[in-house]
Amino acid sequence: MSILLTDDMQIAELNEQYRYVKGPTDVLSFSQTEGEDSSVPGIEENLLGDVVISVETAKKQADEQGKSLDDEIDMLLAHGLLHLLGYDHAEEDEERVMFAKQEEILKGLQAT
C-alpha cells in the first residue's frame, strides 16, 4: 500500500477523474485488485493499492471536531485501508461493520 498526502486541488482532480464527483474529499482509495488493470505484469500480488489523503481537508475536519491533525489523518488512513480490504459503508449494516473495524484499528494505534 502506498499513501499520498496532498492538497484539496489535487484530490479534487482525482475525485472528479475517478468518481465523477466535483470538489475535494478527505480520502480516496485505489485498489490494485479491482478493475481491468488488476493483473498488470510486474505488480506485486500482495499490493493492496493506494490511499490518497487531503491534508487540507483533514486539517479542516480536525479543527471542526477538536481533534489533532495526526488523529484525523490516522482515522482517514484506517478508513482508506478498510476500503482497500473490501469494506464499504453504502448501506447502514455495512457502515456499522466498517466503522467498528475502523475504531478497532484506531484503538490499536493509540495503544502503541
List the CATH number of the domain containing 74.
3.40.390.30
CB proximity list for 15: less than 8 A, separation 6 or greater: 21, 22, 23, 24, 25, 28
Residue 73's contacts (CB-CB under 8 Å, 6 or more residues apart) are 5, 53, 55, 58
The pLDDT of residue 37? 52
Residue 35: per-residue pLDDT: 56
Q: What are phi and psi of 90, to 5 degrees?
A: -70, -35
Question: Residue 67: exposed, middle, or buried by beta-carbon count in 10 A (0-12, 13-18, 19+)?
Answer: middle
* Cβ 73 vs Cβ 25: under 8 Å: no
Q: What is the arithmetic mean of pLDDT over 10-14?
A: 98
pLDDT mean over 81-101: 96
**pLDDT tens-digit readout, 24-75:** 999 999 998 765 554 555 555 667 899 999 999 999 999 999 999 999 999 9
Mean pLDDT of all residues in the chain?
A: 91
Q: Give me the mean pLDDT over the 6-16 stretch.
A: 98
pLDDT for position 44: 58
Domain hosting 44: range is 2-111
Q: How many domains are contained in the chain?
A: 1
pLDDT band for position 13 (50/70/90)?
Answer: very high
